[in-house]
Chains A and B, each alone.
Chain A
Amino acid sequence: MSNKFSRRNFVKAGAAVGAASLAAGFSPFAIGGAHGSKKVVVVGGGVGGATAAKYIKMMDSSIDVTLIEANKDYYTCFLSNEVLGGDRQMNTLKISYAGLKGHGVKVVNDIVTGIDSGKQMVKTRGGDSFKYDRCIVSPGVDFKWELIDGYDASVAENTPHAWKAGPQTVTLRKQLESMRDGGTVIIAPPPNPFRCPPGPGERISQIAHYLKNNKPKSKILAFDPKKGFSKKGLFVDGWARHYGFDAGSMSGGLIDYTLQDGVVAYDARTKTVTTKSGNKIKGDVVNIIPAQKAGAIAAAAGLTNAKGWCPIKGNTFESTQHKNIHVIGDAAIASPLPKSGYAANSEGKVCAAAVVALLNGKEAPHPTYVNTCYSIIAPNDGISVAMVYNFVDGKIGKVKGSGGLTPKAFDAKARAREQQYAYSWFENIKADSWG
């Protein structure tokens, strides 16, 4: 066994030890340029990109990892709905890149404008170029503005989608705070596929929670283009228990939910939405969540298909359209894995292990994945969906018999614990991805 080989194994076996000492700011295993270190460039420091960068360093600290991220700080989308509901402060969503730097990841604050797959080079708006042996792209989502007449990126500043956490989350919260009691909140969930399938249901729950305690004469009107939505049974049951909803008519109390009639146009001046069936409704607060596609850089780099998402190989997340470029997170077509933070984290690790193996001249290891999404319907009423996935016959699949939803029958003890476990998930996923 060569020296190089055994050292790498040592790093693997010592993952925990390595992580601890790396977190302290130095890398005892760093090999540097000794045998020409391999270069990985990660585009986007969200859940997927951060996880991949950190785990590559944990698995083989000799690899040179540069992560390029547009923003100085990251704000998690997860639990941003609790900010809208008023039970959580914005600063708990904020994450710095200090943790990743502690693992030896070079963090660059810039916007990637192009990826040259021929020259294996990433270019930024700031004018820098970064050479890579393998590039990992995790840019999240962008919006198909063209599908809603009168709604675009500039209109969204005052009529926020708040589907990327940050200033728009704050704007939407302020609008809810200044709304009169008796006002109308319009929510327009997007068509499939989109980031965080249970997200709109959780948002409606959290806004209803706020209205119930502060503006009980108000109403939430949801206009959804879909026939149904994620965790519908559990949400509807919870809305009935907390917010006066009736599952049969899909309306009552604080919430009116219209299915198969999405928003197709918006007049920002009068805050009026038009639905597909021609209904025109004026809102006091309007939250339109547009249809989605992979983050713009993915299309610019030729990684997307006609529908705007990135086809990949499920065991390595290497693009099927460009060699040596991997796409993870919301931008990738990893179905049946959903577009969620837990999935992006899980994909980041599978991709990291594959990239480390491939850069060391080995075959990609056998992957395994998990997804979980918690949602908080009201205080002491947490619910979840979970699933284990494997890789069989060249495809990602659900492991039969695994996963599923929180049981529908209300169990006060379990629901209260699920809320606490949701908060634990929040702390752990932040620490595991960026810490």
Chain B
Amino acid sequence: MKHVKTLGTALIFGSLAFSGASLAGGASGEALSYTCAGCHGTNGASTGPASPSLAGMSAVYLADSMRAFKSGERESTIMMRIAKGYDDDDFDKMGAFFEKQTMHIADQSAGGMAGKGEKLHEKYCDKCHAESGMDPEDEAGQLGGQWTAYTEYQLQDVMDGTRDPGKKMTKALKKMHKKEGDAGIQALLDYYASKK
């Protein structure tokens, strides 16, 4: 997926959220993002057990994800129906709002293979998902501290071809799986869940 940073992002957010200029038309980033909280948690900090936290996510990744949900390029149970209610400007505003929030670490237990998972992460995933997948600048979602059920669904979807995160990512995951099997996936999930 291409990541083209929209020039206006910061400006749009600045003017709308801080001056009440939202009267002019369209809702502010804050107002738009508050409507997501019933599923994604207050300010995007999800209480789980499956729906992902959005807090601290890169604005570009969030807006790109919304576009992909809207077009159907990325399959979803419900996000397509939600994303179709907004335009690109709205997505940028939501992105700017969530990017400002502190990344949320899920309060969940991790299985016993976190050590092994760390090694697998370093070997196969780290180059695109730095800092245990917690660096928003990678624009590739949150791995460490994300809800395990959600991350597991994404890996299932990449494995069975439902989600296309780019050829290289798919190749890396399949290579890992070929060598380590389902236990490798479990080890990675344990590792991400162990992040506190």
Contacts and interface: CB of A to CB of B under 8 A. Distances in A.
Nearest to B45: A16
Contacts of A369: 35
B100 interface: yes
Interface residues of B, number: 43
B34 A388 contact: no
Given A418-B78, A423-B49, A372 B38 contact: yes
Nearest to B160: A413
Contact of A19 (B43, B51, B147): B43
Contacts of B17: 12-13
Interface string B19-39: 010110111101110111111
Contacts of B177: none
Interface stretch (B81-89, B108-116, B117-125): B81-89
A431 B42 CA distance: 8
A98 to B, nearest CB: 16
A366 to B, nearest CB: 5
Main secondary structure on B side of the interface with A: loop
Given A16-B100, A366-B27, A372 B22 contact: no
A406 B51 contact: no
A306 to B, nearest CB: 32
B40 interface: yes
A370 interface: yes
Nearest to B38: A429
Contacts of A29: none
A12 B26 contact: no
B159 to A, nearest CB: 12
Contacts of A346: 35, 38
A417 B153 contact: yes
A15 interface: yes
Contact of A388 (B40, B51, B55, B84): B84
A116 interface: no
A14 to B, nearest CB: 9
A353 interface: yes
Contacts of B47: 424, 427-428, 430-431, 435
B103 to A, nearest CB: 11
Given A365-B27, A370-B35, A421-B51, A428 B78 contact: no
Contact of A403 (B34, B36, B37, B81): B81
Contacts of B42: 19, 431-432, 435
Given A417-B153, A424-B51, A403 B38 contact: no
B81 A432 contact: no
Contacts of B100: 13, 16
A388 B86 contact: yes
Contacts of A432: 37-38, 41-42
Contacts of A350: 31
Interface string A308-351: 00000000000000000000000000000000001001100110
Interface of A: 9, 12-13, 15-17, 19-20, 55, 342, 345-346, 349-350, 353, 357, 362-363, 365-370, 372, 384, 386-390, 399, 401-404, 406, 414, 417-418, 420-421, 423-425, 427-432, 435
6 contacts: A55-B34, A369-B35, A370-B35, A388-B84, A388-B86, A424-B147
Given A15-B30, A365-B27, A368-B35, 8 more contacts: A19-B43, A363-B23, A365-B20, A366-B26, A368-B31, A370-B85, A372-B39, A401-B84
